[in-house]
Amino acid sequence: MTDIKIDLKSFVPIFEQIKQQVTLLILRGRYKPEDALPSIRDLAAGLIVNPNTVARAYRELEQTGVITTKRGKGCFVSEEALTLLPSAQTGMARLIVRRAVDELHDLQLDGGRIRELFDEILNDKSK
């Protein structure tokens, strides 16, 4: 039904997870400007969450200009979304790195070893 996934164990509120997921899907090209997003009702049913939660996520995305609502037609990725998202992209990248670092700290790795691992992986990617 949708590429949007939520983590019920996360401390991040569900509406924030939805916002992050929609933003990520736009950045990855899954949704392009003018593409329709899942309806509030359909997405809520698919994620098994309250429709108000999805509505809040969509409302906040609309307030930032990333999506637009067309009365009676639904929500769509705005034409300006890709120009508005670079700062969101950096924020999401920070979140991903933060999660990885937190998990590595849980494995009792220190900052130096974590940097080494990141450098190894970055060097592998550039080959």
Burial code (b: 16+ CB inside 10 Å, e: under 16) for 31-70 equals: beeeeebbebeebbeebebeeebbbbbbbebeebebbbee
pTM comes to 0.70
Q: Which residue has the higher pLDDT, 90 or 54?
A: 54
Domain ranges of the chain: 14-82, 86-125
CATH of 14-82, one of 3.40.50.150, 1.10.150.120, 1.10.10.10, 3.40.50.1820: 1.10.10.10
> pLDDT digit string (tens) for 101-123?
888 988 999 999 999 998 988 88
Which pLDDT belongs to residue 1? Answer: 47
Tell whether the model's pLDDT for residue 88 goes beyond 70: no
